[in-house]
Amino acid sequence: MESGADFPQYIKELFSLGILEYSIYVYVYDGHAEYKGKEDCVIFSEAEYSELYISSETNSNRFKDYLKIHQQGGTDYQTFCKNSAEAGIYRWKVDIFNKTCTYYDSSNNIILREEIPI
């Protein structure tokens, strides 16, 4: 996946493999993910990059701007993760079955929930 513009196709591919949900929790700091599938199958990926500092102050407007740029193909995944950390995004959860992506701050507050256009 090069940018956020590729995200809907990526989700279709995961769904076709039987992955019902995948989540990136605290892991914005290093990019590793937890993938959940059928029959309680859970797989953890390796870290994608060196640890990032997650801002303790959440700036939801800045995050939404970063997300929009990323979804239009303006940033790669690692840049989006850095931008998310800067804006105070602690984790996000992609629910493939319900076709939603939810972004959380360090206090587990929902900052944004959006539908995935697939």
Domains along the chain with CATH numbers: 4-115 (3.30.1810.10)
Cα 33 to Cα 24: distance, rounded to the nearest angstrom:
5
How is residue 47 annotated by DSSP? Answer: P
Token code pair at residue 6: 């590729």
Return the pLDDT at 2. Answer: 60
Tell me, yes or no, if the pTM score tops 0.95.
Answer: no
- 39-48 residue pLDDT tens: 777 888 899 8
Return the pLDDT at 42. Answer: 82
Give me the tens of pLDDT residue by residue for the chain, a chain 118 residues long: 565 677 778 778 877 887 776 665 547 888 888 887 777 778 888 998 899 999 999 999 999 999 999 999 999 988 999 999 999 999 998 888 788 899 999 999 999 999 988 7
Return the pLDDT at 63. Answer: 98
Return the pLDDT at 57. Answer: 95
Dihedral angle over CA of 107, 103, 95, 99, nearest 10: 150
3-state secondary structure of 88: coil
